[in-house]
Amino acid sequence: MVAELISVGTELLLGNIVNTNAAFLARECAKLGLSLYYQTTVGDNPERLRETVRQALERSDVVILGGGLGPTQDDLTKEITAEVFGQKLKEDAHTRERIQTYFDARGTKNITENNWKQAMVPEEAIVVDNDNGTAPGLILEKDGKIAILLPGPPNELIPMFRKDIYPYLHEKQPETIVSEMVKLCGIGESRAETMISDMIEAQTNPTIATYAKTGEVHLRVTARAESEEAARLLIKPVLKELRVRFGSQIYTTDEHVSLEQAVVDLLKEQELTLTTVESCTGGLLAGRLVNVPGVSEVLKQGFVTYSNKAKRKLVGVKKATLREYGAVSDRTAREMARGAILTTGADAAVAVTGIAGPDGGSVEKPVGLVYIAVAVRGQMYVQECHFTGDRLKIRESSVASALTLLRTGILETAED
């Protein structure tokens, strides 16, 4: 079945809020195996809304509308959809009662008249209770087409979808979709794609889609089948082939695991503690590692050694090194990592020093030049990087590369 989303609301068209409902509903549709081809956002304008609903019902089997069900005059989604389905509105006694109960529970004495508008429903609609607000959800069916109307606030829409709409759609949908994520680090998007271009060209079911993140590439493998088991069987050989081609560049096949999580898990598994020493990234690397709950087991401290003096005083970089090679150099990066281990007694250290710009670059040391050093189990890994982009982009690329080099260092020095 083909589904389509329509978000209704001027606040979306003005950019006052980000449309997180669309992302939520899209994920749910993917889980249900519904093909989602379009998402449209439209304002509280009757003509444009009517045209959008009509077009969506022509080209899709299921149209999910979010927003515009509230009590105000602007809220038109129900009225317009009922009109398109050729249904009149009538008062729903059950909903009227729920609205009364809702306000009673909040001690509201004078319920403003416009609230009762929410008890008016299309005459043949399935009414879906709203446990977190006053506007009920509505399902309209006609000639094999379905419209699902949901309240706009995410804290009403999400629980209602999970509780009642998902089971309703699941029943309607014969096919199942399963997708698996393969996350790579230390490789660019175009190179990754070239390495599997034959697989992408030949793909029908499953399909492989690539997504570029800063310093990472994610591959999503998606299969359709009559059952989840059958879909997983289709995915299995593709995952196996991807493992052969990308090897240790795959840091996880778990959708919910980030690169920092994978690195922290690896440190825990290998019983290693870590310290960070950052110059140009200025705390972003530690900050990203601390995203991981339970990181305290491996990360006890970190240093932001932004000035030369801090590099000397906090982690013992030699004055001579800074003078002869400069703060942004292979040598300084090494001494930062080594010094951090000596100062803290950590098992591993990762150091970053570079020129994030916009100023401070020269011909020999241009903006974007970054040195990363990883010291682990008596080994030292150093990488010279040349990044482009603005200051934040260079710093974020540095963090991703530092995590990748740290992961490499841990894996290469691991005892079997």
Eight-state DSSP code of residue 136: P
| Closer to its own copies by Cβ: residue 123 or 390 | 390
**Amino acid sitting at position 52:** T
- Closest distance to its own copies from the beta carbon of 172 (Å): 19
∠ CA(380), CA(386), CA(387), 5° rounding? 120
85 binds its own copies (CB under 8 A): no
| Closer to its own copies by Cβ: residue 116 or 325 | 116
- Closest distance to its own copies from the beta carbon of 189 (Å): 7
| Closer to its own copies by Cβ: residue 42 or 128 | 42
CA 92 – CA 136 distance, rounded (Å): 10
Span from 32-40, 79-87, 243-251, 371-379 in contact with its own copies (CB under 8 A): 32-40
Contacts of 305 (CB under 8 A, 6+ apart): 277, 278, 279, 311, 314, 315, 317, 336
Residue 175 Cα distances to 1, 18, 31, 33, 64, angstroms: 9, 31, 10, 6, 19
CA 213 – CA 189 distance, rounded (Å): 9
102 binds its own copies (CB under 8 A): yes
325 binds its own copies (CB under 8 A): no
Which residue of 39, 95, 249, 398 would you call a contact of its own copies, by CB under 8 A? 39
* SS3 call for 384: strand
Residues 235-274 that bind its own copies (CB under 8 A): none
Neighbouring CB atoms inside 10 A of 305's CB total: 26
CA 283 – CA 85 distance, rounded (Å): 57
| Closer to its own copies by Cβ: residue 202 or 415 | 202
Beta bridge partners of 179: 222
- Closest distance to its own copies from the beta carbon of 356 (Å): 8
| Closer to its own copies by Cβ: residue 132 or 413 | 132
| Closer to its own copies by Cβ: residue 243 or 300 | 300
Residues 136-165 that bind its own copies (CB under 8 A): 153, 155, 159
350 binds its own copies (CB under 8 A): no
214 binds its own copies (CB under 8 A): yes
- Closest distance to its own copies from the beta carbon of 63 (Å): 14
- Closest distance to its own copies from the beta carbon of 378 (Å): 24
User: Locate tokens 């509105």: which residue?
Assistant: 89
Neighbouring CB atoms inside 10 A of 115's CB total: 18
Which residue of 127, 239, 257, 310 would you call a contact of its own copies, by CB under 8 A? 310
Q: Are strands 369-376 and 379-386 parallel, antiparallel or unpaired?
A: antiparallel
Which residue of 314, 361, 380, 382 would you call a contact of its own copies, by CB under 8 A? 314
The answer to whether residues 65 and 89 touch, using CB atoms and an 8 Å cutoff, is: no
CA 208 – CA 221 distance, rounded (Å): 5
| Closer to its own copies by Cβ: residue 27 or 142 | 27
Which residue of 1, 26, 120, 380 would you call a contact of its own copies, by CB under 8 A? 26
| Closer to its own copies by Cβ: residue 227 or 307 | 307
Work out whether the CA dihedral 168, 173, 175, 177 comes out positive or negative: negative
DSSP secondary structure letters along 72-118: STT--HHHHHHHHTT--EEE-HHHHHHHHHHHHHTT--S--GGGGGG
- Closest distance to its own copies from the beta carbon of 213 (Å): 9
> For the window 168-207, what string marks contact with its own copies as x by the rule CB under 8 A?
-----------x--------xxxx-xx-----xx------
* SS3 call for 172: helix
| Closer to its own copies by Cβ: residue 395 or 407 | 395
CA 374 – CA 36 distance, rounded (Å): 44
320 binds its own copies (CB under 8 A): no
Residues 106-135 that bind its own copies (CB under 8 A): 106-108, 112-115, 131-133
Residues 64-83 that bind its own copies (CB under 8 A): 70-74
